[in-house]
Structure 1
Amino acid sequence: MASLNNRDLMKELKSLEAQVLHFKDMIGTEGRTAADDIRERGSIAMRQASDRARNAASYARDEASSVASIAREHPTATSTALLTIGLIGGVIGYLLGQGHTPERDSRWRWN
């Protein structure tokens, strides 16, 4: 009777071992498939990002060329616009600087 139980137990262990190996193979296959899918998606995303960056750089280059040609054609208007922008920036900076006054410390008060 003990040998019968022992034989059944050994059969059960071998069956479980076969199932574990089968699951291990399935998980490995699924992992490789998922990794390939992720790698493919990453490659597509990088390609698209590269194309968009190239297009943005080309657009910026074209716009800079356009602005430079306008500045060459109208130097007086360009210098006036830059001077005006500088003055507006200076006034804003001055107003921001005046709006923030440091608190006085009573130790430094002159009587």
Structure 2
Amino acid sequence: MADPRIQEIRDTVDEQLAQLRAQVATLTKALSSRARDAAEQAGDTADTARGRIGTAVASARQQGHNVVEAARENPGAATSALLSAGLIGLAIGYLLGSSAESRASERGRHWHW
């Protein structure tokens, strides 16, 4: 004959396993629901972003077209603007390079071009 204490332990373990299975099932359903909600929200956000990006691309395309047309109508002004932008970029690059070189020389390093 089986010991009644062993049967009682088995029954207790079986009951606890059943409770654990029920809790796991509940958690699985909750996680599934949250994942579904998150996926829907991500889809909505992606749709909104897609629309905004399309609008921004169309706007950038139109502005680019306007710039090209203005450059065609005023080639001298366009050349001056590009030359000015290039000179400003050159000056900024020179100043940044000089600043980096002076900081390097303070630390005992030397720049080699």
* TM-score under structure 1 length normalisation: 0.68
Deviations 1:42-61 (A, max 9, x none): 21222222222212211110
Q: Following TM superposition, by how much is the alpha carbon of 1:82 offset from its aligned partner in structure 2, in angstroms? A: 1.9
1:59 corresponds in structure 2 to: 59
- Kindly provide the CA deviation profile for residues 37-91 of structure 1, in whole angstroms up to 9, marking residues without a partner as x: 1211221222222222212211110110111111112122212222233334344
> Considering only CA atoms, is the larger Rg found in Structure 1 or Structure 2?
1
Provide the rounded CA distance (Å) in 1 between the counterparts of 2:44 and 2:26: 27
Residues in 2 aligned to 1:92 and 1:70: alpha-carbon distance in whole angstroms: 27
User: In 1, Cα distance between the equivalents of 2:16 and 2:97?
Assistant: 78
Q: Return closer, same or farther for 1:73/1:25 CA change in 2, 3 Å cut-off.
A: same
For the residues of structure 1 that align with 2:7 and 2:91, how far apart are their CA atoms? 95
Q: Which residue of 2 aligns with 1:108?
A: none
Task: Tell me which of the two structures has the higher relative contact order, counting C-alpha pairs closer than 8 angstroms and 6 or more residues apart.
Answer: 2
88 and 18 in structure 1: CA distance in 2 versus 1, 3 angstrom threshold: closer
Runs of 4+ in 1 over 3 A off after TM superposition: 2-11, 87-103
Q: What's the RMSD between the two structures over aligned residues? A: 2.8
User: Which moves more between the two structures, 21-30 or 74-83?
Assistant: 74-83
- Count residues with an aligned counterpart: 102
Normalising to structure 2: TM-score of the pair? 0.68
Given the superposition, is the C-alpha separation of residues 19 and 79 from structure 1 closer, same or farther in structure 2, using an over 3 Å criterion? Answer: same
Structure 2 equivalent of residue 73 of structure 1: 73
Matching residue of 1:26: 26
Aligned CA distance change for structure 1 residues 27 and 96 (closer, same or farther; 3 Å): closer
- After superposing the two structures, state which structure 1 stretch, 44-53 or 4-13, moved more: 4-13
- Mapped partners of 2:35, 2:55: distance in 1: 30
Give unpaired runs (5+ residues) of structure 2.
Answer: 106-113
Give the Cα separation in 2 of the matches to 1:94 and 1:32. 58
